[in-house]
Amino acid sequence: MKRSSMMCLFVLLLVYCSSVHGAPTALWVFGDSLVDNGNNNFINSIAKSNYFPYGIDFNNRLPTGRFSNGKTFVDILGELLGMSSPPPFADPSTRGGRILGGVNYASAAAGILDETGQHYMDRFPLSQQVINFESTLSELRTMMSPGDLNTHLSKSIAVMVFGSNDYINNYLMPSIYTSSINYNPQQFANLLLNHYARQLVALYSVGLRKFLLAGIGPLGCIPNQLATGQAPPGRCVDYVNQILGSFNEGLRSLVTLMNNGFNVWDRACCGVGRNQGQITCLPYQFPCLDRSKYIFWDAFHPTQAVDAILAQRAYSGPPSDCYPINVQQMAAINF
């Protein structure tokens, strides 16, 4: 496998749909550092990005807790939908009227499994993010009638971005975690999907109806994995990409039941060591100048330019990018 556009497989979970036009009422964001917009700033975690040069291309050129030089996929997707990016759940000011347009529960180092990323200390795994969402629901119930709340939730969109950490910060770290000893790749994918499905059912049971599920991108091509030296020059770590196939294929099957122009793909814009990926972006490190040509911002995360493509293709792309329908089409569905 040579160059990769870092295009995630996007799939949608749609249940009992009808085709009445409408607009999304809110964005509920669940996931990891790919979409965390500041939650880890408020917890005891070493997985933080609240320092320069993170945010160098954001509105005020200041770090926000996003693991990017600028906007994330969710920020841009919200703009395409005509919505503001939802505030981070852990911010004490995220309450009252601020929660009506949705909340971001994503947490860097989080995974589908509770133990994933535990070497980064505190984080909100998927199960805790669902609990946090339910606490938001408790507040919403004091602000609107049951009927209005059901309508509000059914017209909103939940974005789910999970799985990467369960591999790079669990399965591929046998010195810390035993998952690769206890499970072969297919068994581990099944374990992840079973946990994932239970939480999706929990979210569905409280009223959410529209889900955007992001598959795992080619982790064998990220600077962090290239920095291991396990692949020849010009190639990705193929075995890492191969073990992800079971998860992405299973995720697409789960959906059936209830995816350019960059010159620099093999190293990070901000980082240290081989492929700028052995140590991620350091405080006040000077990043690359032409960030529009880079796929990767740091050792793990895409640049704003890549997130813009991901968001656009999720919003209006064909079924090969966003299956079975795109976000623009999903937003028009009413329940």
- The residues annotated with a catalytic role in the active site are 33, 298, 301
CA distances from 127 to 42, 108, 116, 206, 214 (A): 18, 14, 12, 15, 17
Q: Between 73-80 and 304-316, two packed helices, what is the crossing angle to 10 degrees?
A: 40
Beta bridge partners of residue 161, listed in sequence order: 31, 214
Nearest to 170 by CA among 125, 231, 222, 213: 125
Nearest to 37 by CA among 108, 100, 97: 108
CA–chain centroid gap for 206, Å, is 22
Strands in the chain per DSSP E: 10-14, 27-31, 157-161, 210-214, 264-268, 271-272, 279-280, 294-296, 322-323
Beta bridge partners of residue 302, listed in sequence order: 296
Q: CB neighbours (10 Å) of residue 249?
A: 15
The amino acid present at 285, given as its one-letter code, is Q
Both structure tokens of 67: 């693991």
- The count of residues in the chain is 335
